[in-house]
């Protein structure tokens, strides 16, 4: 009887360095393969998009994912079949796939059961990183604004949001494969740096971070309060990436261009923060949920990490409009348009 290949499914969660992990795995895929771990990352294949396996996740989970590109959406039905052919032909006994879609808070038990059923020929292990909720909430909110949200930050709504209750999000996987097959680690990137994330991640898969590991740039940089104010107002007139409107990808490029222009503009940046009192209150609400999957040692590190989201005052006032900064952005973009017309 042939021994089952082991498949590690990295499910995120979102805002815990997932894009950095995926880019690192892709950049070092040959090293991984030489060491017995296959991260199949051919962007021409129907199961892979940019740096992760979101089309494969959509196929396995039988779940519609709004950020599938139009090209990958057309071939998503063949994603699992092609993936299976590729991993079966490869000699690696350990397979690694990654997409935050596998950890989407909207997944039902039926979605996860469907994926586990299709992967029944593999020994499945799920990997998830979780992050202290104060920093997670602010980072997730920034990402929502960057993709089209036009609403101010609402702490009570964020606390109630299922996205922040990590153990509840893991329940569907626990029911499907058992808690012993789920590895949960604290996201400590803000304290120890991104390479610490890769060291932790690779040790979970069974390999050590080598000296010749190819570094990649950090992804999804955070945005500050001034940029948030401008984007919030822009989003009232742009289509959100989560919509089904065909203009959503073009409008996302517009937001990206504006953000890039803001980052190249000299101004005093101001981070979004909670006060220590607010952060402690938030962590107390989620304490039992966070402890459900973390070891005592990991939880102590987890609690001590939440400094990136702290400030002496609450800097989440979106009521003002940064007219001067907005004018600089408009002038810069207008200058680029004029320069192109004169070429």
pLDDT in tens, 289-308: 999 999 888 888 777 765 55
Structure tokens at 68: 């599938």
Query: What pLDDT does 324 receive?
Result: 76
Rounded CA separation 97/39 (Å)? 6
**Secondary element (H or E) of residue 126:** strand 122-130
3-state secondary structure 74-113: HHHHHHHHHHHHHHHHCCCCEEEEECHHHHCCCCCHHHHH
Residues 137/175, Cβ–Cβ less than 8 Å: no
Quickly tell me which residue has 């009887």 as its tokens.
1
Mean pLDDT of the chain: 89
| Cα 181 versus chain centre, distance | 22
Q: What's the pLDDT tens digit per position in 44-75?
A: 999 999 999 999 999 999 999 988 999 999 99
**Secondary element (H or E) of residue 157:** helix 155-160
Q: What's the pLDDT tens digit per position in 115-135?
A: 999 999 999 999 999 999 998
Q: Which residues pair with 127 in a beta bridge?
A: 10, 183
Q: What percent of the chain has pLDDT over 70?
A: 92
pLDDT band at 1 (very low <50, low <70, confident <90, very high): very low
Q: What are the residues whose beta carbons fall under 8 Å from the beta carbon of 204, sequence distance 6 or more?
A: 8, 127, 183, 185
């Amino acid at each position: 009887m042939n021994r089952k290949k082991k498949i590690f499914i990295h499910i995120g969660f979102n805002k815990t360095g997932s894009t950095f992990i995926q880019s690192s795995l892709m950049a070092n895929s040959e090293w991984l393969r030489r060491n017995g771990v296959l991260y199949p990352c051919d962007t021409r294949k129907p199961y892979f998009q940019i740096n992760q396996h979101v089309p494969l996740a959509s196929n396995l989970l039988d779940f519609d994912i709004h950020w599938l590109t139009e090209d990958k959406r057309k071939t998503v039905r063949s994603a699992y079949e092609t993936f299976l052919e590729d991993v079966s032909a490869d000699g690696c006994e350990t397979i690694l796939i990654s997409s935050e879609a596998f950890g989407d808070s909207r997944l039902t038990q039926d979605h996860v059961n469907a994926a586990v059923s299709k992967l029944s020929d593999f020994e499945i292990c799920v990997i998830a990183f979780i992050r202290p909720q104060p920093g997670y909430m602010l980072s997730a909110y920034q990402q929502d604004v960057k993709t089209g949200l036009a609403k101010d930050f609402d702490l009570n709504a964020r606390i109630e949001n299922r996205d922040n209750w990590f153990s509840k999000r893991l329940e569907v996987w626990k029911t499907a494969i058992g808690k012993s097959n789920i590895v949960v680690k604290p996201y400590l990137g803000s304290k120890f740096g991104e390479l610490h994330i890769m060291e932790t991640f690779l040790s979970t898969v069974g390999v050590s971070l080598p000296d010749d590991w190819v570094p990649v740039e950090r992804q999804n940089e955070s945005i500050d309060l001034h940029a948030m104010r401008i984007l919030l107002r822009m989003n009232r007139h742009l289509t959100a990436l989560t919509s089904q409107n065909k203009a959503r990808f073009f409008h996302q490029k517009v937001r990206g261009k504006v953000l890039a222009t803001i980052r190249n503009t000299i101004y005093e940046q101001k981070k979004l923060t909670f006060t220590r009192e607010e952060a402690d209150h938030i962590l107390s609400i989620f304490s039992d949920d966070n402890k459900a999957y973390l070891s005592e040692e990991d939880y102590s590190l987890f609690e001590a990490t939440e400094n990136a989201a702290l400030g002496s005052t609450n800097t989440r006032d979106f009521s003002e409009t940064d007219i001067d900064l907005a004018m600089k952005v408009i002038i810069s973009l207008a200058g680029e348009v004029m320069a192109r017309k004169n070429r």
